[in-house]
Each structure stands twice: as structure tokens, then as C-alpha cells.
Amino acid sequence: MDEKEARLVELVLGGRTEAFEPLVTPYRQLLLTLAYRLCRNIEEAKEISQETLMRAFRYLGSFDRTRSFKNWLLQIEMNVWRSLGERAADEETLRELATRNTLEDPQERLAAKEAREKLFSCLDGLSPREREVFLLRDIEGRSVKETAGVLRTSSISVRVHLSKARDKIRELVKRRFPELMEGQR
């Protein structure tokens, strides 16, 4: 955690609650986007992000300041996602919701829509745990150790799921969207 964040945490804990907004604003996109990629429903993603930030505010006093604030927020979000996931709809319903949300947003660009569909199509081929590991490590760029900390699991478990996830992603991209690979060679 950097000095600026530490100072803001001190202010919030000292009763200056307005300091919470500058503390979490740098992560608002990250939390919303990750939640959306996990649940594929913009309203549910907002709900997950709000609950994450609300919990962060409530439990800020127990935050270990030797750790990364960003990873702490991600850890809370994964917990919220998992607790909500227990009552989540099945995959088919989620896909329908994702499509509906896309169509309801008039400002959305076609390229972003296509990109999202490709991403979701690949993520669909992963198990829930592989998806979490893949999103945190390969999309959000957390290290294996950080990913293990966020998911409260071991680095070995992360590597095992990551290995399977990457193998599946390679197969899926190669079969369905070979143009994505061509542009990267």
C-alpha cells in the first residue's frame, strides 16, 4: 500500500468518511469490469461492486496495511461474487442477460460488443475456478502469489487451474477465433 492510500485510510478511520471516495476511485473500473466478466450481468456487476466497496468501508479498520489495498478489494469482491454465485442463475440465463444488456445499451460500440462476446465465449469454456484464476492472472495481471492470496488458496492450486485454463483458452481461440491469434504472431 502506497503512502497516499495509507494517509487516506488513516483519515477514514479518523472519521473523515469523505476520504473514502478518493481511496477507492482508482479501482472503481477494475471492480466493475471484473464483476461483469464473472457474472455477465451489468446490474448484478454493479450490485457486486457496491457490496464490495460497502464491505471495504465497514471493515477498513481490520485492513492489514502491510498488504496491497487493491488485492484486498479484489479479495472482498471474489468473496461477494462467490456468496452471490450460490444463488446465481445458470449459464444459459447469464448468457441471455449479457446479450440483453448489450442490446439495451445504445452507446455501446460494435467493436466492444464483439470483443465482449468473444471473451465471454472463451470464458464459458472454463470451470468457475479456472475462470477466476484466468481473469485475475491473465486479464488483470495479478501475479500467481497475489492471485492465490485473493482467492485464499495455494500458489500450487493457482498454477494447476491456470495451466488448464490456458490450455482450454488456446484450444477455444484456435478453433473459434483464429483471427485473434493471427494478429499476435
Partner 1 sequence: MSCSRVRKWLPLYAASDLPSGKARRLEKHLGECPSCRKEVEELRAALAGIRAVAGREILDWPEGEWNRFMARVRSEEPAPRSVPVFSAFPRKAWAAGFLIVLALGIAGLILRAILSSPASSLLSESIAATAAQPSRTLVKDEVPSGGYPQDLPFRIRRQQGAPGRTVLAAGPSQEKTKQDLMSMTLVSHETGLKVHWTLNRNFEWEEKKQ
The residues binding partner 1 (CB under 8 A) are 12-15, 17-18, 20-21, 28-29, 32-33, 36-37, 42, 45-46, 49-50, 53-54, 57-62, 64, 66, 111-112, 115-116, 118-119, 122, 137-139, 144, 159, 162-167, 169-170, 173-174, 177, 180-185
**57 or 153, CB closer to partner 1?**
57
**19 or 86, CB closer to partner 1?**
19
Residues 5 and 9: their CA atoms lie apart, in Å, by 6
**66 or 104, CB closer to partner 1?**
66
CB of 27 to partner 1, least distance (A): 11
CB of 19 to partner 1, least distance (A): 10
CB of 96 to partner 1, least distance (A): 19
**20 or 89, CB closer to partner 1?**
20
**82 or 159, CB closer to partner 1?**
159
CB of 34 to partner 1, least distance (A): 9
Which of 146, 159, 161 minimizes the C-alpha distance to 75?
A: 146
CB of 172 to partner 1, least distance (A): 8
CB of 140 to partner 1, least distance (A): 9
SS3 letters for the chain? CCHHHHHHHHHHHCCCHHHHHHHHHHHHHHHHHHHHHHHCCHHHHHHHHHHHHHHHHHCHHHCCCCCCHHHHHHHHHHHHHHHHHCCCCCHHHHHHHHHHHHHHCCCCCHHHHHHHHHHHHHHCCCCHHHHHHHHHHHHCCCCHHHHHHHHCCCHHHHHHHHHHHHHHHHHHHHHHCHHHHHCCC
**51 or 78, CB closer to partner 1?**
51
Which of 127, 102, 104, 128 minimizes the C-alpha distance to 115?
A: 102
